[in-house]
Amino acid sequence: MRVYSPDQLNAMADDERKAVLESEFGRSFHISAAEHVAWIFWTPHTDEPREILDQGSAFILRREDKLFLVTAAHVYRGYLEDRKQHGSLYCQVQNCTVRDLSDHLIACGNLDIPLDEPDRDPDIAVFRLTPGAAERIARKPINGPKGAWPAPPNVGETVMFAGFPGQARIMTEPDEISFGMYSAMTPVTSTTDHQISCRFDREYWIDAHRLGLPPLGYGLGGISGGPLLIPDFRDGAWSWRLGGVISQAPPKRPPKDVLFDSVISHRAEYILPDGTVAKLR
């Protein structure tokens, strides 16, 4: 597979760049992103066929010698609400069963406010993760910086987001579930002190997965907690750095009700080296 540098991509005409992004080179970004994202779901802890109460997305973050599991705060808060209603829950992160998420919590934003109230803290939850648990989850860690977080991506810079929409989940057997991955590369449309927003422009969409483009109104609920990834080109190779944690995604709705679609992430720099989460500035 030929690898293209940012300068080579920027020098291309639109049609040439589109062809490259539709090629194996473009698809390699989606394959790589999928290797870093895990699903998380929970069910009532019973012996009956499992009814999934809710799900989200998560990823492993490495800061120096520490491994953390990261998701959106509202995903974890949804877990706590379901535990109040149903008692003990069966929770799974990719291939790893978690008896009680609360036992591993380091920090969670907005923990003491109702789910339907606006955020007061970053929508980020961080959990302790042992090497053994990380091995069972079997997702590649995203390496964080050794010092301060780099600056956020600029408006117009291309980023990638990835996660597992609930709409793409299929129960293939009473005890077997298939989770569908959704990933997309898109320019940043705005940034604030705490968020990064990506508004979709369907005119420029490319069917990188060769499965057909999603219809207007397709819901992405379930990708919350997944990573916003920034492509990084160094020494002739592409890698990722973390830009943020997905906190908002378009709900499923009729096409006539769609004015626009966007994905919003809380900036990664709120995750401190010890796994705690800084307050909103």
**Would you list the domain boundaries of the chain?**
6-270
Residue 167 pLDDT exceeds 60: yes
Q: What is the rounded distance in angstroms from the CA atom of residue 148 to the CA atom of residue 269?
A: 8
Residue pLDDT, tens place only, 100-137 = 999 999 999 999 888 888 888 999 999 999 888 999 99
Q: Can you give the pLDDT at residue 48?
A: 61
For residue 246, give the nearest of 173, 169, 163 by alpha carbon: 163
Interaxial angle between packed helices 14-21 and 24-34, expressed in degrees from 0 to 180 and rounded to the nearest 10: 50
Q: Can you give the pLDDT at residue 226?
A: 97
Q: Can you give the pLDDT at residue 47?
A: 61
Whole-structure pTM value:
0.93
Q: Can you give the pLDDT at residue 157?
A: 93
Q: Can you give the pLDDT at residue 215?
A: 87
Q: Which tokens go with 102? A: 């609360």
Residue 138 pLDDT exceeds 90: yes
Residue 229 pLDDT exceeds 90: yes
Q: What is the rounded distance in angstroms from the CA atom of residue 82 to the CA atom of residue 43?
A: 9
Q: Which tokens go with 275? A: 């796994």
Q: Can you give the pLDDT at residue 146?
A: 87
Residue pLDDT, tens place only, 257-268 = 888 889 999 999
Judged by average pLDDT, the poorest of 53-62, 164-173, 217-226, 246-255 is 164-173
Q: Are 62 and 240 in contact (CB under 8 A)?
A: no
Pick the CATH number of 6-270 from 2.40.10.120, 3.40.50.720, 3.40.50.300, 3.65.10.10: 2.40.10.120
SS3 sequence, the chain?
Answer: CCCCCHHHHHCCCHHHHHHHHCCHHHHHHHHHHHCCCEEEEEEECCCCCCCCCEEEEEEEEEECCEEEEEECHHHHHHHHHHHHHHCCEEEEECCEEECCHHHHEEEECCCCCCCCCCCCCCCCEEEECCHHHHHHHCCCCEECCCCCCCCCCCCCCEEEEEECCHHHCEEEECCEEECCCEEEEEECCEECCCEEEEECCHHHCCCCCCCCCCCCCCCCCCCCCCEEEEEEEECCEEEEEEEEEEEECCCCCCHHHCCCCEEEEEEHHHECCCCCECCCC
Residue pLDDT, tens place only, 141-152 = 999 998 889 999
Residue 247 pLDDT exceeds 90: yes
Q: What is the rounded distance in angstroms from the CA atom of residue 206 to the CA atom of residue 211?
A: 11
Q: 242 — phi, psi (to 5°)?
A: -85, 125
For all residues of the chain together, what is the average pLDDT? 90
Q: Can you give the pLDDT at residue 1?
A: 83
Mean pLDDT of 180-192: 93
Q: Can you give the pLDDT at residue 50?
A: 65
Q: Are 263 and 246 in contact (CB under 8 A)?
A: yes
Angle subtended at Cα 212 by Cα 225 and Cα 262, rounded to the nearest 5 degrees:
40
Mean pLDDT of 19-36: 92
Residue 49 pLDDT exceeds 70: no
For residue 240, give the nearest of 25, 63, 33 by alpha carbon: 33
Band the pLDDT of 174: cuts 50, 70, 90.
low
Of residues 215 and 277, more confidently modeled: 277
For residue 162, give the nearest of 243, 50, 217 by alpha carbon: 243
Residue 46 pLDDT exceeds 80: no
Q: Can you give the pLDDT at residue 170?
A: 78
Q: From residue 25, give the alpha-carbon distance in Å to each of 9, 30, 112, 214.
A: 11, 10, 45, 22
Q: What do you get for the CA distance between the two ends of the chain, in Å? A: 44
Mean pLDDT of 203-231: 89
Q: Can you give the pLDDT at residue 163?
A: 96
Residue 61 pLDDT exceeds 90: yes
Q: What is the rounded distance in angstroms from the CA atom of residue 44 to the CA atom of residue 86?
A: 6
Residue 201 pLDDT exceeds 90: no
